[in-house]
């Protein structure tokens, strides 16, 4: 009865998060459709390359310090003022380091982004401290039970982007740079909000603590490999497509992947509501709640998959254009793997934040990345299967990796009873 009461009590928060996250993702897709409608397949492919670069810089360049700060806050019970101040310092430090290294090594990575002007990629490097600070805020907002603000703020920014760019594209000649500059501008506009939101948690002035920074690095570096492998696991196929098949093929595949990854919003909405309770150690209620939430998320996702299979062709043609019907076969192959992976994220988070088995998550994800690389190489270079073959390869690797993580988590839960 206590578990049932806990779920009912959290329904309002879960519905709130789900609503704004859903609207935010829909608006992001609308922005993508806007670029595709006015700029065509190639412009959308360039837009996808830009967002891919932002994701890599943010999630790989920060060395897992955002997750490390969250772990220090939840496990070590350090004051938010110290966590926040250290997060600001680390964002500036790592942002400067990543920008310097990125500029020095640009001959190595620029060829991978051949479809877009280097200027936009350089601007992302320059603004990387703000990318990292946003990542700090996202992690800490989750830790203090204010995840709804993450999705509300994202919704507001995406709504502004769609409205402003729609007006621009309706009255002037299409310019992709407007969308890219607006995205970079949101990083600058968001920083004061992030600061106020975290500072108001304990109403104390942020303080830098080298000890907290060291603990965050120790906790984060282990988690980092799992995150880095996870990001590359989901993005390496897009790199390979852009290199072998070109920007237009990437445009089709990225749409299939983005629509499929919409399943993650269900997992994020439900888990964000109950995560503070689930990771709280020493309570038998949390384990029961974990299983209830797991099966609830799985059931909802299953219904969502069925709806996406039915509505997928209509969505692609109606919003992106008839030429994007080429995305549907890849979309069909990606969905099963994304569904299984989404379900396993609950187990991965439990292993990482409650049972200190982040090394296992990193190991399985790293092996999955290698499997994905190998399968995609065969599909692209040996069998010439195009984006549909890449989707099959990626879906297989997602499924195998997710099942390995889930089985390991069940074994750990059984032994710790």
Token code pair at residue 188: 């600058």
pLDDT, residue 272, reads 61
pLDDT, residue 333, reads 97
pLDDT exceeds 90 at position 406: yes
Token code pair at residue 65: 């310090």
Structure-model confidence comparison of residues 63 and 331, the more confident one? 331
pLDDT exceeds 90 at position 369: yes
Core vs surface per residue 161-192: b (16+ CB within 10 A) or e: bbeebeebbeeeebebebbbebbbebbeebbe
pLDDT, residue 417, reads 65
Alpha carbons 324 and 87: distance in angstroms, whole number: 42
Domain count of the chain? 1
pLDDT-derived band at 213, boundaries 50, 70, 90 = very high
Report which of 262, 279, 388 is spatially closest to residue 331, judged by C-alpha positions: 388
- What sign has the CA pseudo-torsion 41, 45, 50, 51? positive
pTM, 2 dp: 0.84
pLDDT exceeds 90 at position 127: yes
For the segment 346-369, the average pLDDT, to the nearest whole number, is 86
**Domain span at 372:** 2-415
Judged by DSSP in three states, 172 sits in coil
Token code pair at residue 208: 């830098």
- What sign has the CA pseudo-torsion 155, 9, 68, 341? negative
pLDDT-derived band at 312, boundaries 50, 70, 90 = very high
Judged by DSSP in three states, 209 sits in coil
Report which of 68, 72, 203, 222 is spatially closest to residue 132, judged by C-alpha positions: 68
pLDDT-derived band at 308, boundaries 50, 70, 90 = very high
Residue 139 CB partners (closer than 8 Å, separation 6+): 66, 67, 69, 70
For the segment 50-78, the average pLDDT, to the nearest whole number, is 87
pLDDT exceeds 60 at position 165: yes
Considering the chain, what is the average pLDDT of its residues? 86
Residue 23 CB partners (closer than 8 Å, separation 6+): 155, 158, 159
pLDDT exceeds 70 at position 304: yes
- Summarised one tens digit per residue, pLDDT across range 137-151 is 888 887 777 777 777
pLDDT-derived band at 197, boundaries 50, 70, 90 = confident
pLDDT exceeds 80 at position 21: no
pLDDT, residue 280, reads 62
115 touches 254 (CB < 8 A): no
Alpha carbons 327 and 323: distance in angstroms, whole number: 9
| HEC profile of 33-93 | HHHHHHHHHHHHHHHHHHHHHHHHHHHHHCCCHHHHHHHHHHHHCCCHHHHHHHHHHHHHH
pLDDT exceeds 60 at position 8: no
CA-based max dimension of the chain: 64
pLDDT, residue 15, reads 65
Alpha carbons 186 and 190: distance in angstroms, whole number: 6
């Amino acid at each position: 009865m206590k578990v049932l009461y806990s779920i009912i009590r959290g329904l309002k928060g879960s519905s709130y998060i789900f609503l704004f996250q859903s609207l935010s993702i829909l608006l992001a897709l609308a922005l993508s459709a806007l670029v595709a409608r006015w700029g065509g397949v190639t412009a959308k492919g360039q837009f996808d390359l830009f967002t891919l670069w932002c994701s890599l810089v943010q999630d790989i360049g920060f060395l897992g310090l955002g997750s490390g700060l969250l772990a220090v806050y939840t496990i070590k019970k350090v004051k938010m003022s110290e966590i926040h101040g250290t997060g600001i310092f680390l964002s500036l430090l790592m942002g400067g380091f990543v920008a310097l290294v990125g500029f020095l090594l640009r001959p190595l990575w620029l060829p991978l982004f051949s479809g877009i002007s280097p200027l936009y990629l350089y601007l992302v490097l320059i603004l990387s401290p703000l990318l990292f600070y946003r990542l700090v805020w996202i992690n800490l907002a989750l830790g203090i039970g204010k995840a709804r603000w993450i999705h509300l703020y994202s919704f507001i920014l995406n709504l502004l982007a769609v409205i402003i760019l729609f007006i621009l594209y309706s009255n002037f000649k299409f310019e992709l740079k407007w969308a890219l500059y607006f995205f970079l501008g949101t990083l600058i506009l968001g920083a004061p909000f992030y600061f106020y939101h975290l500072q108001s948690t304990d109403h104390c002035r942020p303080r830098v603590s080298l000890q907290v920074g060291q603990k965050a690095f120790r906790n984060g570096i282990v988690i980092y490999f799992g995150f880095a492998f996870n990001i590359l696991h989901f993005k390496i196929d897009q790199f390979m497509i852009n290199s072998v098949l070109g920007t237009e093929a990437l445009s089709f595949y990225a749409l299939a992947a983005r629509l499929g990854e919409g399943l993650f919003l269900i997992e994020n909405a439900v888990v964000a509501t109950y995560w503070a309770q689930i990771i709280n150690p020493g309570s038998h209620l949390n384990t029961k709640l974990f299983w209830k939430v797991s099966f609830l998320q799985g059931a909802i996702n299953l219904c969502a998959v069925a709806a996406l299979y039915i509505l997928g062709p209509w969505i692609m043609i109606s919003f992106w254009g008839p030429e994007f019907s080429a995305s549907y076969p890849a979309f069909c192959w990606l969905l099963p793997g994304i569904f299984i992976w989404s379900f396993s994220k609950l187990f991965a988070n439990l292993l990482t934040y409650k049972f200190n088995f982040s090394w296992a998550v990193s190991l399985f994800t790293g092996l999955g990345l290698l499997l994905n690389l190998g399968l995609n190489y065969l599909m692209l270079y040996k069998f010439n299967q195009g984006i549909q073959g890449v989707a099959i390869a990626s879906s297989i690797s997602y499924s195998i990796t997710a099942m390995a993580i889930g089985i390991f988590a069940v074994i750990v839960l059984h032994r710790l009873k």
